[in-house]
Chain A
Amino acid sequence: MRPQDEFVAARQPDWAELEQLLALGRGFRKLPPVSIARAATIYRAVSSDLMRAQAAGYSPDVIALLDGLAARAHNTLYSAPPYRMRAVWELVAADFPRTLRRHARFFALAVALFVLPGVLGFAGAMRSRAFALQILPAESVEQMEEAYAEGFGKGRKAGVNTFMTGFYVFHNVGIAFQCFATGVLFGLGSVFFLVYNGLTIGAVAGLVTAAGHGRNLLTFTCTHGAFELTAIVIAGTAGIVMGYALVDTRGRTRLGSLQARAREIVYLVVGAALMLLVAAGIEGFWSPSGLPDRVKWGGAIVAYLLVISYLTFAGRSGQARGEPQAEARP
């Protein structure tokens, strides 16, 4: 067996060469094929150097150097498949609606968890103001009653529209992501946020209607609601799907089951986020505009038809091709 110093002296030039190639970072991929092949060759040599060094009991610094070199070379040589812009389009055109349809039952459950508390909140707040105040903070109740009493017939400044759009993006998409992410706690977080949001929205609607401004509220919310409420429910669906993956593991470990379904889950959340961006634009500019009520109602009908037909029909052709590999059992 070779003494360590001799071994290091003999192998050092190769290590230095690999180090140099790796230092290029992303530039590495633009190297001529010869250099890449060379890097791969040294990487294999380094792996065997590493095993030799371990077997021979060389000192920790040599092992650490080789570990680091092998790890970085591996990370660089086996690069992840590049993410193409086309994949974004595919997500919108097919993957998102398809995945949602595949989880139609969970979607139905999420709708129920959102709508039933919503109806309850609405009915309760219609009947008693005290009930609504149990759910909503008093200041925001007064604020909302004022806002909807006035209506939006006059429209408002463009700057305010921009501000509110920003606010809706920040706030609503944040809620959707939270509604999803907390699903990792066996779905409980998602269930909670669906029920909570349903109850709150229902109570606001009930309160405003009881005060006699139901028409204003409906006119304001009808169009963006098509995107916004649907998206919140879809984010909740994604959370429940994630939580359920921890319960029904299909023979995998809990974590393995979760990871196997991760891709579909991402489709749902990203899809929901995109819908919320559309909703924020509408809510900031169209909903508070001075357009006549009839026009807004017409817009709402178009929006609902659009959302329903998109989620029902998009990506139907060629569906067989796109079945997820993640479903394959080990």
Chain B
Amino acid sequence: MSQTAAKAIHYRYFLNLGPQHPSTHGVLRLVIGMYGEYVLSIEPVIGYGHRMHEKMAESKPWPMFLPNTARMDYASPLPHQHAYVSAIEKMTGIQAPERAEYLRVITSELSRISSHLLWLGAFLLDLGAFTPVLYSFDDREYILDILENLTGSRITHCYYRVGGVLYDVDGTFVGKVREFITRLHSRFSMYKKLVEGNIIFLKRVKDIGVLPLDMARRYGATGPVLRGSGIAYDIRKAAPYSMYPKLDFDIPTGETGDCLDRYVVRIKEMEQSLRIIEQALDKMPAGEVMAKVPKKLALPPGDISFSTEGARGEVTYYLVGDGSEVPYRLKVRSPCFSNLSLLQELCEGMLLADLIATMGSLDLVIPEIDR
């Protein structure tokens, strides 16, 4: 052991970051061994928000579990719901009408944009810029209003059903979404001016928290965290579902995997999401939004898994049926759990401020980890 390392261990003290801390965005606790301002070791402590979602899924009929799917990742609930209903559809062989699938794509992408906008504000708040969060919330408000009119709730939407979606949309919805697309396009240039041109911002994120490709692979990182490191892995392209194969969009990737790359990837993803929504609005056929689904739908014996691309990465629902309406087992793979677990290795030896920036760039939603 070198002399500095021995000294560092000797003067080490522990900092309890959380569970109530402005930068953990929820009830995450990090036990950090510190040497001065340097981080020697990190131990994430999770589970404060554990609500037994998986056990609930195993103890009640599947329609009663549907609202729970929106309560795990509260920032972008719809991809979770998409995975759940699609898993059941795949298991029981129900096909949702095409219009419903398009609506799922549109609302899922709106959900992704709203999540990325929330992240944008929160990330800059972690870096100490107080103002952008209110600008991004201003834009997010439009999405929440649109989704509230459609689904009846602002955050925990329960909109998808097995065999389709709950409500059909009308011209007002389409008009409002198109209006939002034009608005957000014009706002991107403002965000660029406000944020990306700022030298303090660039100094805080460039070459900070560099996530090498092999480390990202080892921990099973997905979503913008993985794509920031340079792999164009996206479930929407890798294992296409719903109407994504019929839509034209790119998967933005970063180069080095630092915080700036993850930032850029998310900004570009929002632009791509707008592209997807535009195309989906154009291609959406008229017709039913609900298929004929029997009142009592038993899940056949066997297992199945279905993945969707959430705002934070791969969301997988693994479902085991035993012939009854109640699933025998439901396992949720949340992207944030893998993304959090790499924090330990990624941030050793960093400054405390860089740890906060890196953690912010991973975009963790803690209730999704705790479930």
Co-assembled chains A and B: no
Residues of A within 8 A of B (CB): none
Residues of B within 8 A of A (CB): none
